[in-house]
Structure 1
Amino acid sequence: MTDFSHVRTRFAPSPTGFLHLGGARTALFSWAFARHYGGTFILRIEDTDLERSTPEAVQAILDGMAWLGLTPDEGPFYQMQHMDRYRAVLGSMLAAGTAYPCYSSPEEVESMREAAKARGAKPRYDGTWRPEIGKTLPAIPADRKPVIRFKNPQEGATAWLDLVKGPISIDNGELDDLIIARPDGTPTYNFCVVVDDWDMRISHVLRGDDHVNNTPRQINILRALGAPVPQYGHVPMILGPDGEKLSKRHGAVSVMDYHREGYLPEGMINYLARLGWSHGNDEIFSREQLVEWFDPQHLSKSAAQWDPKKLNWVNAHYIKQSDNESLAHSISERIKARGGDPEAINLVEVVQLLKDRAETLEQLADAAMLFCGPFKSAEPDLIAQHLTASARAALKDFAQQAAKIDWTKDAIAALIKTVLATHELKMPQLAIPLRVAVAGTTQTPAIDAVLTLLGREVVLSRLNGS
């Protein structure tokens, strides 16, 4: 029976790199699960891999979580700060006989595995140092420090009702005696996870299905400790657009890469949630709706596929819905990085004009350079193509009259119609030359809106210089 009365979930990344998309989705599901049931979401940094863990990677994880707004209720906790606790539990297990010292060298263990493979058996440690009633253990080698192994049950099976995959059962005979402490005494990943989940009273564990093989080992250690066993749910991986495992070759895989590329956290949350979870046919939903609707029964059993076009579509929606002032603030530094001046013009009005065409903040900043950046004249071939004698005559007429009108969008639109009628032109025959002369390109938003924002002085200067 699934119990959701006292939900305590955790996200427990290893700080060996950035916060990748799969990890971010796991964090999101764990966060939404806890929020839905009024529970507690815990952040735990599993930093016992001293060779690969770095402070920079820890900060990258914290930055990614903060950007996505996945604020933990408790933590971050760091495993390296709990070493005394792990050693105490190891001592109690040695005393209880649920763990034992193993003096087999790595080379000897490898020989055991090769011998098992030669017999057609599963490659594994053969239990040379496993204490049994009536068994005589070998002489302890001189000058060799032992690892500590968990005395895994050899009979029966370890089974659990997975929140995502349904019933899973692993034969205990398939599991060898796991190393839970290295020769220098430092505990291993699976052991630290068990002690932390126990101490933190974790009730539900949502994680990637690459951890399925760890789960029976962790369950057995928890049972040996007399600790409660959480309910587990294993989410399938995210595949790239080509159906292969998502990796760097598919482009950005760090959450903060997407921040740099101009995606909104609301868009990323929405899109990540739909990668392996659904609520009917809803594609667009708020963070609040995700929390309200989240149910682990709606997590998919099959792998999700990353679709950059779908992400852009979702992000474009959130850009359109965003407040113009907040968008202006968001792209201000991006404009400066391009050599533009975000204060040269009313950036809020620029955003209002441009945001419906943008899929990312980077695209929005690129477009805003028309108003905030130095003017770049059109290429000579573009000028030759569009600024013909008839076009120049119409532009001269437009410039002369533009000097006298009220500088409003409606007045500029009316002037354009007047010039079109006077010179017997169709809209593109004036609008495109106007764009080429004033914007240096043939593509802009509505030309009357562009001219309004650029201002009379700038427009007349560029027209008279063309």
Structure 2
Amino acid sequence: MTTFRFAPSPTGYLHVGNARLALINWLAAKHTGGRLILRLDDTDEERSKPEFADAIREDLTWLGVSWDAEEKQSDRLAAYEAAFAQLQSEGRVYPCYETPEELDFMRKRLRSRGLPPIYTPPTAEKLQKYIAEDRPVHWRFKLMPGVIEFDDLVRGPVHFEADKLSDPVVRRHDGSWLYMLPSAVDDRDMGMSHIIRGEDHVANTALQVQMFEAMNAPVPAFAHLPLMTDIEGGGLSKRLGSLALRDLRDDGVEALALASYLAHLGTSDDIKAEDSLEKLVGLFDFNHFSRASPKFDPAQLSRVNAQVLHGTAYGDVMDRLPLGVDEPLWNAVRANLERVADVHIWQKIATAEIDPVVGDEDADFLKQAADFLPQEPWDETTWGTWTAAIKTATGRKGKDLFMPLRQALTGLDHGPELKVFLPLIGFARAEARLKGQRG
């Protein structure tokens, strides 16, 4: 069975970029008949908060992403100690004593000579000096020489020369863990078959390939996705507004719209609303992903959101609608909404007094149109019968006929089909508005 994971750090609210990774891992797991593990990387005791973990679970559930098991790194410290001890006994982790300032000086000196800033272990003499000074110790994983290779499901074959990479620090002087080793230990112990993450982890993957090999563990398949940018190709920034899922949800973005958008973004597929998450599962294909950075476009997301609302049945949204919005009104206006909250605009137009838009050149025409209004009850045939009579009497047709009627009846030059909306306005309001009166 295939096994995937989503491994957020509960140090903040779930961002749209991480939500995309969660969704894609879930789609891949469902598409392959596998499972998804939610792993909370919570070893940062100072910044990890239970409320953020709860919010991540809530956001994933809202998006439709379910998981088959949950793990927390804070519960697995013994496993990391055991792996560390094994690697230490085999000479694959070793102590280091340089200060941050000394390491920075070493990097600058190498760069000034045109060399890659690769860490070089100290000489035996210098090592003894550090130990004699009782310096705090941190620990690095020793890379073995040679070429590190893996086949990326998005990028294709990837190669790194180990001697051009620094041995990574895996443990700080206070005993706390950095990302690299605990992540690899978890992936080994949880039987991870696939790891899908951002392309900023490509170099980490090369290092972790050797960690898997050092622990005699199978190396998972990897897929590194290009990072999302703003519409101009820059990093996602605060000028776009908050991109936390909780804020997008509060702004009226539908879960299925966001899932459709994020699933198609950065692929060869058309970006459009799908009618279910199951449809997205069926469409999933690693071969569809592009190596180009996907651009997050709020306007495009709004269009997808509108597409979802256009197909949303009244029963699926009634609990979120303002009091008084019934099924006929919802069905009449849903094709003109970008957010559910926008329905109040059309509720007011249908049920409350508004100021009509009546141009001087159309005033007499509209009064004449009012005289042709049939008596109620009205249905969807009323509009066609009424406008046909007006056309015969006035000779107006096309836009000259329909636009003044729409502006007078709704106060706007766009909106739902009037054949379904006119009966909701009713005779009294329609007559008053056509005569230029508030109604």
TM-score of Structure 1 vs Structure 2, range by shorter chain: 0.7 to 0.9
RMSD after superposition: 3.3
Contact 2:28 2:281 in 1 (8 A): yes
Per the TM alignment, residue 32 of structure 1 is displaced from its structure 2 partner at its CA by 1.6
Change (3 A) 1:440 1:74: same
Q: How many residues align?
A: 436
1:60-459 equivalent positions in 2, closer than 5 A: 60-75=55-70, 77-128=71-122, 137-142=128-133, 144-153=135-144, 155-278=145-268, 285=274, 286-330=276-320, 332=321, 342-346=322-326, 348-371=327-350, 375-378=353-356, 382-383=357-358, 385=360, 388-389=363-364, 391-392=366-367, 394-395=369-370, 397=371, 404-411=375-382, 413-415=384-386, 417-418=388-389, 421=392, 435=406, 438-456=409-427, 459=430
Shifted more, 231-240 versus 91-100: the winner is 91-100
Most deviating of 293-302 and 281-290:
281-290
SS in 1 for 2:234: coil
Choose 445-454 or 170-179, whichever is displaced more: 445-454
Report the CA distance shift for 1:135/1:439 in structure 2 as closer, same or farther (over 3 A).
closer
Note the alpha carbon deviations across 1:26-63, whole angstroms, 9 max, x for none.
Answer: 22221122112211111112122344434443344323
Contact 1:161 / 1:232 at 8 angstroms: preserved in 2? yes
Q: Is the 8 A contact 1:386 1:436 kept in 2?
A: no
C-alpha deviations, 1:138-194, integer Å up to 9, x for none? 3525554311222222x2122111121121111111222221111211111112211
**Per the alignment, in what secondary structure is the counterpart of residue 243 of structure 2?**
coil
What letter matches 2:323 in structure 1? E
Distance 1:391 1:290 in 2: 49
| The one of 2, 5, 10 aligned to 1:15 | 10
Q: Output the CA distance in 2 between the equivalents of 1:411 and 1:121.
A: 81
Counterpart CA distance in 2 for 1:81 and 1:386 is 76
1:99 is displaced (CA, Å) by 1.5
The 8 Å contact of residues 306 and 339 in structure 2, kept in 1 or not, is answered as: yes
The letter for the 1-side match of 2:377 is D
Which whole-Å CA distance do the structure 2 matches of 1:442 and 1:313 have between them? Answer: 20
CA shift digits 1:296-350 (9 cap, x unpaired)? 23332332233445444433333222223324444x1xxxxxxxxx33342x211
Deviation at 1:284, TM superposition (A): 6.0
Q: Which moved more, 1:185-194 or 1:270-279?
A: 270-279
Q: 1:148 corresponds to which letter in structure 2?
A: W
C-alpha spacing 1:230/1:453, structure 2 compared with 1 (3 Å): same
Which letter does structure 1 place at the counterpart of 2:59?
A: G
> 1:350/1:141 Cα in 2 relative to 1: closer, same or farther (>3 Å)?
farther
For the residues of structure 2 that align with 1:294 and 1:82, how far apart are their CA atoms? 33
Amino acid paired to 2:137: P
- Deviation for aligned residue 1:216: 1.4
2:24/2:263 contact within 8 Å kept: yes
The residue matched to 1:120 in structure 2 has which SS?
coil
- 1:40 aligned to 2:35? yes
Give the 3-state SS of the residue equivalent to 1:92 in structure 2.
Answer: helix
Distance 1:123 1:274 in 2: 39
* Aligned mates of 2:378, 2:287 — CA distance in 1: 59
- Quote how far apart the aligned CAs of 1:9 are: 0.7
Residue identity opposite 2:139 in structure 1:
I
Q: Is the 8 A contact 2:42 2:72 kept in 1?
A: yes
Residues in 2 aligned to 1:427 and 1:304: alpha-carbon distance in whole angstroms: 42
C-alpha distance in structure 2 between counterparts of 1:120 and 1:423, whole Å: 84
Q: Give the 3-state SS of the residue equivalent to 1:160 in structure 2.
A: strand
Amino acid across the alignment from 1:147? H
CA 1:278–1:64 in 2, change beyond 3 Å: closer, same or farther?
farther
Structure 2, unaligned stretches of length 5 or more? none
Amino acid at match of 2:90: A
Instruction: After superposition, give the CA deviation of every residue in 1:395-445 in whole Å (9 maximum; x if it has no partner).
Output: 3x35xx65x433434346534544665566658677666555554444443
Relative to structure 1, the CA distance from residue 240 to residue 412 in structure 2 (aligned partners, 3 Å threshold; closer, same or farther) is closer
TM-score (norm 2): 0.86
TM-score by length of 1: 0.81
> Following the alignment from structure 2 to structure 1, what is the Cα–Cα distance between the partners of residues 140 and 14?
31
Say which is worse superposed, 407-416 or 104-113, in terms of deviation: 407-416
SS of residue in 1 equivalent to 2:420 = helix
Structure 1 residues 219 and 446, CA, compared in 2 at 3 Å: closer, same or farther? closer
| Alignment gaps of 5+ in structure 1 | 1-5, 333-341
Cα distance between partner residues in 1 of 2:288 and 2:165 = 31
Quote how far apart the aligned CAs of 1:228 are. 2.1
Letter of the 1:14 partner, please give it: S
1:7–1:34 Cα contact (<8 Å) kept: yes
Q: Distance in 1 between matches of 2:365 and 2:175?
A: 86
Percent identical pairs in the alignment equals: 33
Asked if structure 2 preserves the Cα contact closer than 8 Å seen for 1:261 and 1:362, the reply is no
Which digits, 9 at most, give the CA deviation of each residue in 1:90-127, with x for residues without a partner? 23333333212222222222222233223332224321
Distance 1:422 1:136, change over 3 A: closer
413-422 vs 120-129, greater mean Cα deviation = 413-422
Change (3 A) 1:328 1:65: same
Alpha-carbon distance change, 427 to 105 in structure 1, aligned in 2, over 3 angstroms = closer
Displacement, 1:206?
0.9
Match of 1:337 in 2: none
Counterpart code for 1:191: L
Residues 164-173 or 446-455, more deviating:
446-455
Could you tell me how far 1:293 is from its partner in structure 2? Answer: 4.0
